[in-house]
Copies of this chain bind each other. A is one copy, B any other.
Amino acid sequence: MISVSEALQLIEKHAQFNAIKVKPIIKTMGLVLAEDVISAIHMPPFKQSSMDGYAFAHSDSDCYTVVGEIQAGSARNLQLNQGEAVRIFTGARVPDSADTVIMQEHVQRQGNQLNIEILPNKYANVRPIGEQINAGEIALTKGVELNEAAIGFLASIGATRVKVYKRPKVSILITGNELQQSGDQLEDGQVYESNSITLKMALKRLGINKVNTAMVGDDLAQTTEAIKKCIAQSDVVLISGGISVGDYDFVKQALEANGVSEVFYKVNQRPGKPLWFGVKDKTKVFALPGNPASSLSCFYIYVLPLLKAQLGHRDCHLPSAEAFAADDIDNKSGKTLFLKGMVENEQATLLSGQASSMLKSFAVCNAILVIPSHVTFIKKGEKITYLKL
């Protein structure tokens, strides 16, 4: 049995970037750039007015003749002579012969006669060519996560396709004779299967929408065959259940039969002790405990960081912070505890229903409180580390 930090290090060591793919920017939300994006244009591409007003060549004069107008979008490059100004609008191209734009609120106009009331500084209200970025400069660097602003920025410099790390293909294999599909009638001894939908939804949050799901009973041959198929079609395989020490837990044997190399088995934690992690070629395999809360806890602590690292993210773990324990917390187990909690106003409250079979507390918590294995007691009011959900 290894410690939580040893398990995390082993996973980090085995993480590899996913394949790189050129994608249209509209398909890249949440993905990470696999190379720097160089701007092909100056932005703005021309001297641009940032106001509705009048463009002119700056001088001491407070009187100009308006000789025309330039709308946004017009290519017009009017030659202004001394004493001439041009009506101009926000976003429009400022003529080469002008250097300054005065707001329309700061002039008096009568016919074509323009009187300046508050003379702006030279260059005022004109965005110079390349003010935001020049052609040939790096727009966004490799490793940046593409959010709405980044994608919009790429669009604004005319970048339509970028290189990103692909989303991984993930398979979920659910094992267990006792599991009934949701919607069907429960027979005595059966419970509804929920881990596949929980994991699918957690993957969806990472933008991973294409997920194969399969179910097998507690049978070695079937489990071996199902794992084989999952590995053939996936970058990451998540197996649920069948990894403990019961006579009908066949997952470990089935993984060995498929030549998946064990990296670790069993972590000194609660919930989720019987976590198994292994690799076959480029495919990573997690065998997660079947108890619903253990499964999801292991997903957050171990699977999520692997997926995020392979997607190219720099911060791969759930964000952590500190709060004050609202109750005394005992830890006689010698294990690291991951407890469902609610953190409000820096007070961390333990929720009821911590058993590894119980999802309800996970459904309404906003934090996982982390009690390290060597800490036997936390007094109310002491600082405690938590992971934000």
A46 at the interface (CB under 8 A from B): yes
Residues of B with C-beta under 8 A to A200: 26
Q: A147-B363, A188-B46 are in contact. Are A73 and B178 (CB under 8 A)?
A: yes
* Nearest CB of B to A357, in Å: 6
| A50, A77, A245, A356: most-surrounded residue (chain B CB, <10 A) | A245
| In the complex, per-residue mask of A181-210: 1 if CB is within 8 Å of any chain B CB, else 0 | 011001111111111011111101100000
- Check B73 against A177 for contact (C-beta < 8 Å): yes
Contact segment of A88-96, A224-232, A280-288, A375-383 = A88-96
Taking a contact as CB atoms closer than 8 A, the residue among B29, B132, B159, B244 that contacts A358 in the complex is B132
Contact segment of A2-10, A112-120, A149-157 = A149-157
- Check B25 against A197 for contact (C-beta < 8 Å): yes
A99 at the interface (CB under 8 A from B): no
* Nearest CB of B to A356, in Å: 8
Cα of A364 to Cα of B154 in the assembled complex, Å: 12
Chain A residues numbered 331-387 whose CB sits less than 8 Å from any CB in chain B: 353, 355-360, 362-365
Residues of B with C-beta under 8 A to A74: 177, 189
Residues of B with C-beta under 8 A to A157: 192
A60 at the interface (CB under 8 A from B): no
A290 at the interface (CB under 8 A from B): yes
* Nearest CB of B to A88, in Å: 9
- Check A140 against B73 for contact (C-beta < 8 Å): no
- Check B91 against A290 for contact (C-beta < 8 Å): yes
A148 at the interface (CB under 8 A from B): yes
Residues of B with C-beta under 8 A to A193: 155
Cα of A247 to Cα of B158 in the assembled complex, Å: 28
- Check B359 against A153 for contact (C-beta < 8 Å): yes
Cα of A212 to Cα of B99 in the assembled complex, Å: 40
